[in-house]
Amino acid sequence: MPESDPSPLILDSTEQRVLGSLMEKQRSVPGSYPLSLNALRTACNQATSRDPVVDWDEHTVTEALRGLRQRELVRVVHGDRTLKYHQLLDVRLELADDERALLTVLLLRGPQSAGELKTRTDRLHSFADRGEVEACLGRLADRSEALVVQLPRQPGQHDPRWVHLLGPVPAAAAALHPPMPVVDRESVLADGAAARDARVVAAYDSVATAYALEFGEELAAKPFDAWLLCRVAELAGIDPVVDVGCGPGQVARFLTDAGATVTGVDLSPGMIAQARLGHPEVTFEVGDLRALMRPRLAPAWGAITAWYAVVHLAESELPSAMAGLARVLRPGGWLALATHIGAAVHHVEALLDESVDLDFVLHDPTAVRAAIESAGLTVLEWYVRGPLAGVEPDTERLYVLAQRPT
């Protein structure tokens, strides 16, 4: 990976299609390669050898190219009369010809079996048999940073399917993350929301100093979080950003360092005191994300980040909480949310050597996305990742990027 771009290689669905199309045409029609913008758009919108079939306009492809060029995954080539585009993904990943062919087809057509891949890669690389395909897939899966994974076999499928790991693939989500068992996430409200909130505030007030010391620099070890937060700062532009459930301010400070104008809000006065002490350049206020106010100097927030801010809420509270955030978000504004997911409510009686009475809710990812959409926001991207060994608790995490329609 080039030293100039230390971020993880995570491609959204548009970027996947653009790179896959460039890789395909580079091999199948080398005389027409590199591709002009119009030719690339046609390749992306092809009705054959694509799943799903799309109908993107020029602006959509241009925006994807802009992001790919910034990450040095695409290079502009100056032709006689027009700009043309050349992909660099195979160089970035150091792909052999057979690996390149498989990854191209996986980017363009989603999850596929080894037999399907052999047939569909014929114009890109000649595999002798399915065994060669499976051996190549094995190499891609066994890399230090795996590029593909075999999906669990689903009912009615004769052969298992494979999917790339360069970004979210909606068609693979159900297989990778099957429905979770039923859990009583309403149990946190057994004695009412007010009593629950009082326990949360008391717990975080008591651990505020130790929490700031323990987690103040945690984003340095979390490249995915850092990548997504940098995108939020860029998307917000000059509009104000609010980080709800900010704790001791590590996310708010990161966003500030990325160029955003940020306010941090937290229910715990102790956490706000630590945030102000550690990051005096950032504005922090005691407040509740469920009653979030508009910014003082703007009509609405340009972006809202909620990093693990809903881990103490019952599932039934999510729709109203998301609606409250959407209410103070400008048209076209962004919501970025991260939370633990799973099928449990974990009760904790000790945190950072302090006695506490806290319940952590592992939410159902479908319910989280549904709550965001019920607030009138459009979920554009969502990701699930596992825990970083030695850095985080052993739970999966859901990340959602949503936008308020203009």
Each residue of 219-263: pLDDT tens digit? Answer: 999 999 999 999 999 999 999 999 999 999 999 999 999 999 999
**What pLDDT is attached to residue 158?**
74
Tell me the pLDDT tens digit for each residue of 269-304: 999 999 999 999 999 999 999 999 999 999 999 999
Q: Is the pLDDT of residue 5 over 90?
A: no
What is the residue extent of each domain of the chain? Answer: 13-169, 187-403
User: What is the DSSP code (8-state) at residue 222?
Assistant: -
| Whether the predicted pLDDT of 393 surpasses 80 | yes
Q: What is the pLDDT of residue 6?
A: 42
Residue range 366-374: mean pLDDT, rounded: 95
∠ CA 403-104-140 to the nearest 5 degrees?
A: 100
Is pLDDT of 116 > 80? yes
Beta strand 261-266 pairing with 240-244: parallel
Question: What are the residues whose beta carbons fall under 8 Å from the beta carbon of 124, sequence distance 6 or more?
Answer: 24, 27, 28, 100, 101, 104, 105
Give pLDDT, residue 157.
Answer: 66
Chain mean pLDDT for the chain: 93
13-169, CATH topology level: Arc Repressor Mutant, subunit A (1.10.10)
Which pLDDT does position 210 carry in this prediction? 97
Percent of all residues in the chain with a pLDDT value above 70, rounded to a whole number: 95
Reported as a pLDDT band with limits 50, 70 and 90, residue 178 is low
pLDDT for 4 equals 39
| Residue, of 217 and 156, whose pLDDT is higher | 217
The span from the CA of 247 to the CA of 275, in Å, is 7
How far apart, in Å, do the first and last CA atoms of the chain sit?
38
Is the model's pLDDT at 171 over the cut of 80?
no
pLDDT digits (tens, 9 = 90+) for 121-150: 999 999 999 999 999 999 999 999 899 999
| Whether residue 56 has pLDDT greater than 80 | yes
pLDDT given for residue 180 in this prediction: 57
For residue 241, which phi and psi values (nearest 5 degrees)?
-120, 140
Residue type, 185: R
Does residue 54 carry a pLDDT above 70?
Answer: yes
Residue 114 near residue 126 (C-beta atoms within 8 A) = no
49 secondary structure, DSSP code:
S
What's the pLDDT band for 173 if we cut at 50, 70, 90? low
**Distance of alpha carbon 331 from alpha carbon 50, whole angstroms:** 33
- Token pair recorded at residue 218: 């945690």
Domain 187-403 bears CATH identifier 3.40.50.1370: no
What's the CA gap between 30 and 15, in Å, rounded? 21
Residue 3's pLDDT band (cuts 50, 70, 90): very low
Confidence band for 79, pLDDT divided at 50, 70 and 90 = confident
